[in-house]
Each structure stands twice: as structure tokens, then as C-alpha cells.
Amino acid sequence: MLKLLKHIGLYFIMMKKVISVPEKPKAFKKQFVLELEKIGLQSIGIVLFISFFVGGVVSIQTALNLQNPLLPTYLIGLASRDSLILEFSPTMISLILAGKVGSSIASEIGSMRVSEQIDALEIMGVNSASFLILPKIIASMFFFPCLVILSMAIGMIGAWVGGLSVDVTTSDFLYGLQYEFVPFYVTYAIIKTLFFAFLVSSISSYFGYHSKGGAISVGKSSTEAVVYSSIFILVFNFILTKIILA
Amino acid sequence: MIEIQNIHKRFDNNKVLKNISCIFNEGQTNLIIGESGSGKTTLIKILVGLYKHDYGSVLFHGQDVGKMKTKQTRKLRQEIGMLFQGGALYDYMTVEENIMFPLTMFTSKNEQEMIDRVNFCLKRVNLENKNELMPSELSGGMKKRVAIARAIVMQPKYLFCDEPNSGLDPKTAIVIDNLIKEITEEYNITTIINTHDMNSVMQIGEKIAFIHKGELWWEGRKEEIIKSKNDELTNFVFASDLFNRLRTS
């Protein structure tokens, strides 16, 4: 319990240092662009790949469960759409990004800590937490929603392809996609994603920033970053769903 | 001049530094020597403000660092250059970007002025035309020289070096030692070096402080070591057969 309280305390102390006006806007901009590339652009491939195939699987499984002459086939499009928008794209993609981006952030900052690069920043008088972590948090909060929207689109293409393989016609599928569409679901997904992006980037940065020792510690930080980011994503998914949708 | 008074530091139940008081002379090469685990690195990290001491004072030109306001501390830090054991170069930056980094953060120099300054510093450490190399492409000695260039780019008043020779071959170690010594004299910097390399002590040391088990056991000039009656000091300094033979001869 004491250990948990210590972690929470250290996390908020770090966040207090992180949330400050950047000392040199030019340097911040440069770091931000670098992070956009590392966190965002380099994640597009995996997001597209996973979304396409999961979308396909969702529509095939839905089709198998709706094999009833009384149920119209357009429901497959509708069910795939809602599964993708409400849960798969925001939550599952964030969990995947917690693995990819979270471990990368924790190991990068952790390596900088154990190789004294963070100490070097501090000695120069640079607020190391703000300089290293703030661009990562902002880049994540900027790019995660973009990736999630992309995931929704590609997931639906995957679902359409999956639907075709189980004899769902394109017109039925498209009708289902548009049937009783609630635009607020997309807003809800983006709100969730913004929270998840903040959690993944800040929790991973916390574990990296507090690495101690050598390579083993960096590996441990990286693992902890993924585990705790995932746990917090799932907990906040429940809380946010209850608050926003219920 | 840098002065430390009654410094105490503990990590959990482990007392690392016990009541250390010492003066480091201005414009000289001051060496902190001692065995591994004696508390040298902790002391140097307290001096540069990376660790907070539990008790005592650190004075830079008579000003207590602990009582300084944030603005004053930041200003002081810009007057400090530090050379870390592993160089601590930023992996994702080129040699030029590494050296230029403090200039971009704390000065309003334009791009050309910064490049000129970087080239001057690179020339000073004999690494001309290495601007575009990445740290991973450098040898251990070159990394240390780039780190020295980065440490002096802001024209610091104080230079701190944590084991500058560790991991280097004897010839490169001498090059680094001489470079630090030359820079200290050239720019009238107060340099504090943390080392257990006796070659460095004999070659560049002026003021020596010997730390043993977290306590200051001896301080004085290099020439006084030989005459010292402090057993712990002489056992440490003359531990190697070569130095022992030199002493007796």
C-alpha cells in the first residue's frame, strides 16, 4: 500500500514538473515533431493491419451468430460498425498502442536516465521532465484520435470484406453501416481515446523517468509501463463508459 | 571558489557521506579521490545539485546553493559544465546538435553564431569536421571529447568531471587529462574531478581531497601525498606496484 502511495505521489510530482510552459518554444516544436513521427506515423502500419483483420473477423462472427431468417443481413453491418466505433477502435487500439508506444517511451526515457542523459539536462538547467515528457503527451493526445478514426475506417473496410466472404451483399452491408447511426458514438470514442493517450504516455514516461540502475531496470520499466497503462485503460474505459453512455 | 561545509548524506539507512568539509580552489584542478563506493560520485552529484544533501552547505563564491532562489539556481547551472562517466551524449542528436544544445536552450545566438561556436569547441578538443557523426559512431575517447566540448560551449566557470578516464586506454586517458588541464588553465575554470586513477592524480592534480568510507581523510597538494603519514591515503595511492616502486626510489 505504501509503495502504491509512493508511486502515486511521485507520479503527481513528475506531472507538476511536466505541465509547465516550455522554456524555448522552438525546441519544444522540434521535439513535438520528432514525437509525432515516433508515436504517430510509425504506428500507422500496425493500426491499419490489425483494424482490417479484426474488422473482417467481427463481421464474420456476427454473421455466424445472426443465421436466422427473421434477422435482416444488414444487421451485420450495423453490429460491426457499433463494435468498431464503441469498443474495438478506441479501447483495443489504445491497448495495442500501450504495448507499442508505451514500451518505446519507457525504454527511451529509461535509457536516458541510466546513461545520465537526463542528469546532463538537469545540470544545464533544463526542466528535463517538461522537455522530454510534455511533447510525448501532447503528440500522443494529438495522434491517438487520428489513429483511432483511421482504425474505424479501415476496420469497416475489413468488415465489408469479411461480410462478402459470408455472402452479405455490399448494399446490405452499407445500409447496415448507415442504419440509425449515432454520431455521438464517434465523439464518445474520441473522448475515451484522449484519456487513454494521456494515460499511456504519462504512465510510460513515469516508469521510464524513474528507472534506476542499468539495462535490467530499463526492461522492467518498459514491462511495468505496458502493464499499468493497460490496467488504467481498462479501468478508465469502464468509468468513462458509465459516465458518458449510461 | 567552491566550499562545502559539514555535508551529510544518507540513502535509506546507508550513511554515504559523513560530515565532509572542504574548499576547492578557484582556477585549479581539484581532485576528489577514493576507492569505488567511497562516496565520490555522491559528493560530486551534491555539488552540481543532482542530489540534495541531508545536512550542511554548498557554497559557490560564498553563496549557499540551498538558499538560492530558482532563478539564481538556474543561472548558476548555466555556469556549470559537467563531464559524465559515459559522456551522456544525447543518442538521437549528431555531434553538432549535442554541442549546440545548451546554446539553443539558453542563448539568443543565431544559427551561424552557434555553428561557429560549436566548430570552435570541436577544434579545441581536436575533433574538427566530426559535426555530422552520431554518438554511436564515436569511440570512447571521442565521446569524452565531445562531452568536454559540450561542457565548455557555454564558457562555464566550473567544470565537474566524474571519472573522466574510466573505460579508456592509458594513452587516450592522458589525452583527456591533458585536455581538461589545458582548458582549466586557458579559461580559468574551477575544475573538480572525481577519479581513482593515480596517473591523473600525479599528472594533473593540484588540490587533492581523499575520501574514505564517506569521510574526508586527507586534503592537500599533490606533492604532499608522498610525505603523508596517513596510512589509508598511502595504501590507496601506492596500491599499485609501479607507484610503490616509484615512491621508494
Q: Is the pLDDT of residue B237 over 80?
A: no
Is B228 a residue whose pLDDT tops 80?
Answer: no
Cell numbers given for B38: 567511497
How close does chain B come to A74, measured CA to CA in Å? 51
> What is the rounded average pLDDT of the residues B124-129?
88
Distance from the first to the final alpha carbon of chain B = 36
Compare CB distances from B50 to A23, A115, A122 and report the shortest one's residue.
A122
B88 touches chain A (CB under 8 A): yes
More confident of the two residues A3 and B54: B54
- Collapsed DSSP state (helix, strand, coil) of residue A171: helix
- Tens of pLDDT along A219-234? 999 999 999 999 999 9
Mean pLDDT confidence for A24-44 = 91
- Average of per-residue pLDDT across A10-29: 88
Mean pLDDT of B130-135: 93
Q: What is the mean pLDDT of chain A?
A: 93
Q: Is B230 on the interface with A (CB under 8 A)?
A: no
Do the chains contact at A125 and B49, CB–CB below 8 Å? no
The answer to the question of residue A99 being in a domain is yes
Using pLDDT thresholds of 50, 70 and 90, give the confidence band for residue A133: very high
CB contacts of B49 in chain A (<8 Å) are: 122-123
Give the best residue of A6, A123, A130 to mutate against chain B (max B CB count within 10 A).
A123
Rounded Cα distance between B166 and A55, Å, is 56
Smallest CA–CA separation between A18 and chain B, in Å?
Answer: 16
- CA–CA gap between residue B235 and residue B244 (Å, rounded): 9
B105 and A122 within 8 Å at the Cβ level: the answer is no
In this complex, the residue of B45, B78, B89 whose CB is nearest that of residue A125 is: B78
Taking the CA atoms of B99, B103, B109 and B110 in sequence, report the sign of the dihedral they define. positive
Mean pLDDT of chain B: 88
B226 contact A CB<8A: no
**Which pLDDT score is estimated for A172?**
93
B202 in A contact zone (CB under 8 Å): no
Predicted confidence band of residue B243 (pLDDT cuts 50, 70, 90): low
User: Shortest CA distance to A74 belongs to which of A183, A151, A155, A180?
Assistant: A180
pLDDT in tens, B24-65: 988 899 999 988 888 998 999 999 988 999 999 999 988 898
Query: Can you give the residue range of the structural domain that contains B34?
Result: 2-248
What nine digits make up the cell of A42? 510509425
Q: Is A226 helix (H, G, I), strand (E, B) or coil?
A: helix
Minimal CA separation from A11 to chain B, in Å? 19
Answer whether A122 sits within 8 Å of B49, measured CB to CB.
Answer: yes
* Phi and psi, residue A240, nearest 5°: -65, -40
Q: Looking at the 3D structure of chain B, how many domains does it have?
A: 1
Assign B230 a pLDDT band (cuts: 50, 70, 90).
confident
CB B195 within 8 A of CB B165: yes
Residue A9 lies in a domain: no
Confidence band, pLDDT 50/70/90 cuts, at residue A57: very high
Helices (H), A19-127: 25-35, 44-65, 74-83, 93-97, 103-114, 117-124
CATH of the domain at B9: 3.40.50.300
Could you tell me which of A243, A233, A238, A246 has the C-alpha nearest to residue A92?
Answer: A233
Name the DSSP letter for residue B38.
Answer: S
Nearest to A124 by CA among B63, B107, B93: B107
* A207, pLDDT greater than 90: yes
Grid cell 560551449 is found at B153
* Chain B residues whose beta carbon lies within 8 Å of the beta carbon of residue A119: 45, 50, 82, 84, 88
DSSP designation for A211 = -
Of A27, A115, A119, nearest to B50 by CB-CB distance is A119
pLDDT of residue B166: 83
Say yes or no to pLDDT of B247 above 80. no
Contacts of A24 in chain B (CB under 8 A): 104-105
Query: Hey, is the C-beta of B72 within 8 angstroms of any chain A C-beta?
Result: no
B249 pLDDT above the threshold of 90 = no
**Residue A8 within a domain:** no
Is a pLDDT exceeding 80 seen at residue A243? yes
Q: Are strands B29-33 and B80-83 parallel, antiparallel or unpaired?
A: unpaired
Report d(CA B136, CA B10) in Å as an integer.
Answer: 36
More confident residue, B237 or A62: A62
Question: Which pLDDT score, from 0 to 100, does residue A2 have?
Answer: 82
Enclosing domain of residue A166? 27-240
pLDDT at residue B246 tops 70: no
Residue A52 phi, psi (nearest 5): -60, -50
Express each pLDDT in B64-104 by its tens digit.
988 888 888 888 888 999 999 888 999 999 999 999 999 99
**Averaged pLDDT for residues A6-15:** 94
What confidence category does residue A10 fall into, taking pLDDT thresholds of 50, 70 and 90? very high
**What would the mean pLDDT of B221-241 be, rounded to a whole number?**
77
Rounded to the nearest angstrom, the gap between the alpha carbon of residue B130 and the centroid of all alpha carbons in its chain is 24
Could you tell me the pLDDT band of residue A95, with boundaries at 50, 70 and 90? very high
Task: For residue A53, tell me if it sits in a domain.
Answer: yes
Of B145, B142, B94, the closest CA to residue B124 belongs to B145
User: Is residue A1 in some structural domain?
Assistant: no
From chain A, the residues in CB contact with B90 under 8 A are 112, 117, 120
Predicted-complex ipTM score: 0.86
pLDDT of res. B171 = 84
Number of structural domains in chain A: 1
- The answer to whether position A127 is within a domain reads yes
Sheet arrangement for strand B14-24:
B14-24, B2-11, B55-60, B63-64
Say what the pLDDT of residue A4 is.
Answer: 86
Q: What is the mean pLDDT of residues A67-89?
A: 91
Share of chain B above pLDDT 70, in %: 96
Task: In whole angstroms, give the CA distance from residue B225 to residue B219.
Answer: 9
